[in-house]
């Protein structure tokens, strides 16, 4: 994890960044819920909104259930919002928010664009729609390491051969994930290996996310999102599909719809935040995936994660925040 030479002051812009699918782990959020009532309330609200004990699956598993996409997505969202509420109670507030894929919903909850209850229900359906869009085995995703976006895009075009093969997650200049038909993705892996990629490997995912094969999921989700009330956000939300800052309610809804088939422009989003003066990034929720990507994007910036009590206390110390003091940006 990157370190900073000086703690942020009340005038330093801080970005909260929220993880996406793949960061789930059995036990996530449990100790925060045990210690902080605001975290516990987040899990109780999610249980009530969904009509089943999501909290128990987060805290106790079993892991195979937690890995089911329609459970994974609301689980990560809830664990992330619970961690955010604790940080907010401690007086640590963001100047900007962004989330990786699913994490963009967490960002919108924090920004006040959508309610937590609506978000939990929406991402449950989002996960279901994405899983059902493509039969198991038809699609695939692969990580291409050590090859720039232009080269990866060229390989995808060549490998497609009348199938779908597209850049899905532009995570950093060193890591790009591709998505599409399994046979096309396998051809792209061979091309990447032949053309000097450091590594090209299939990912253990259940569906080919963030490519045009997700069009059926996008159409179903668009109907749901039209029923959700969107507000002007309190802080800028950097949306994945445009790598641009949004306040407007209608634009935020549209970006979440387009995100289903569009590339996650994470590298570009983080660089936009850096150009806006952000020096400190707080990964809010389970795991350290985004903190790891930050090392690839810009090692000079501070990246801390807050997903449990230990990481919370470590982060507060890095901010020079005493347990009952306030740091707001």
| 181, β-bridge pairs | 139
Tokens of 267: 């590298």
Quick one: which of 283, 287, 284 has its CA closest to 301? 283
Instruction: Please check whether residue 268 lies inside any domain of the structure.
Output: yes
Answer yes or no: is pLDDT of 321 > 60: no
115 catalytic per annotation: no
Q: Which one from 179, 210, 245, 269 is the annotated catalytic residue?
A: 210
Flag whether pLDDT at 43 surpasses 60: yes
Instruction: Let me know whether 200 and 228 are in one domain.
Output: no
Q: Which structural domain, as residue segments, surrounds residue 182?
A: 139-205
Q: Is-catalytic flag, 210?
A: yes
329 touches 14 (CB < 8 A): yes
- What pLDDT sits at residue 11? 63
pLDDT in tens, 115-166: 999 999 999 999 999 999 999 899 999 999 999 999 999 999 999 999 999 9
Name the burial class of residue 193, with classes exposed (0-12), middle (13-18) and buried (19+) by CB atoms within 10 angstroms of its CB. middle
Q: Name the domain count of the chain.
A: 2
Domain membership flag for residue 2: no
Quick one: CA dihedral 9, 272, 235, 238, positive or negative?
A: negative
Domain containing residue 219: CATH number: 3.40.366.10
What rounded mean pLDDT belongs to the chain? 93
| Intra-chain end-to-end CA distance of the chain, in Å | 22
Among residues 205, 232, 257, which one ends one of the domains?
205
Both 267 and 314 in one domain: the answer is yes
153 found inside a domain: yes
* Residue 307 domain flag: yes
- CA 39/CA 324 separation, integer angstroms: 17
Rounded to an integer, the average pLDDT of 38-62 is 98
How far apart CA 309 and CA 323 sit, in angstroms, is: 12
Q: Which of 55, 101, 291, 302 is catalytic?
A: 101
Q: What's the pLDDT band for 5 if we cut at 50, 70, 90?
A: very low
Check whether residue 173 and residue 113 sit in a common domain. Answer: no
Give the pTM: 0.93
Q: What is the pLDDT of residues 81-95, one digit of tens each?
A: 999 999 999 999 999
Strands 165-172 and 175-181: antiparallel
pLDDT, mean of residues 177-199: 98
Does 45 reside within a domain? yes
């Amino acid at each position: 994890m990157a370190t900073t030479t000086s703690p942020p002051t009340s005038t330093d812009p801080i970005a909260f960044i929220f993880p996406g699918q793949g960061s789930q782990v059995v036990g996530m959020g449990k100790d925060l819920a045990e210690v902080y009532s605001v975290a516990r309330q987040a899990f109780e609200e999610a249980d009530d909104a969904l009509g089943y004990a999501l909290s128990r699956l987060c805290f106790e598993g079993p892991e195979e259930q937690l890995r089911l996409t329609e459970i994974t997505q609301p689980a990560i969202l809830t664990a992330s919002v619970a961690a955010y509420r604790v940080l907010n109670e401690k007086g640590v507030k963001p100047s900007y928010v962004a989330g990786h894929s699913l994490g963009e919903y967490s960002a919108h909850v924090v920004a006040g664009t959508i309610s937590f209850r609506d978000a939990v229900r929406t991402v449950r359906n989002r996960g279901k729609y994405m899983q059902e869009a493509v039969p198991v085995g038809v699609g695939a995703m692969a990580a291409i390491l050590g090859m720039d976006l232009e080269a990866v895009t060229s390989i995808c075009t060549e490998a497609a051969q009348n199938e779908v093969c597209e850049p899905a997650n532009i995570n950093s200049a060193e890591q790009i994930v591709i998505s599409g038909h399994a046979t096309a993705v396998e051809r792209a892996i061979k091309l990447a290996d032949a053309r000097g990629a450091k590594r090209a490997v299939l990912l253990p995912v259940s569906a080919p996310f963030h490519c045009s094969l997700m069009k059926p999921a996008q159409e179903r989700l668009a109907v749901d999102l039209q029923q959700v009330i969107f507000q002007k956000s309190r802080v800028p939300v950097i949306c994945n599909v445009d790598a641009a800052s949004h306040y407007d309610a209608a634009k935020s809804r549209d970006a979440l719809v387009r995100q289903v088939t569009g590339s996650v422009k994470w590298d570009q989003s983080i660089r936009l935040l850096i150009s806006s003066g952000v020096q400190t990034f707080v990964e809010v929720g389970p795991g350290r995936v985004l903190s790891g990507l930050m090392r690839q994007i810009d090692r000079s910036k501070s990246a801390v994660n807050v997903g449990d009590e230990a990481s919370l206390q470590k982060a507060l110390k890095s901010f020079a925040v005493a347990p009952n003091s306030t740091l707001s940006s």
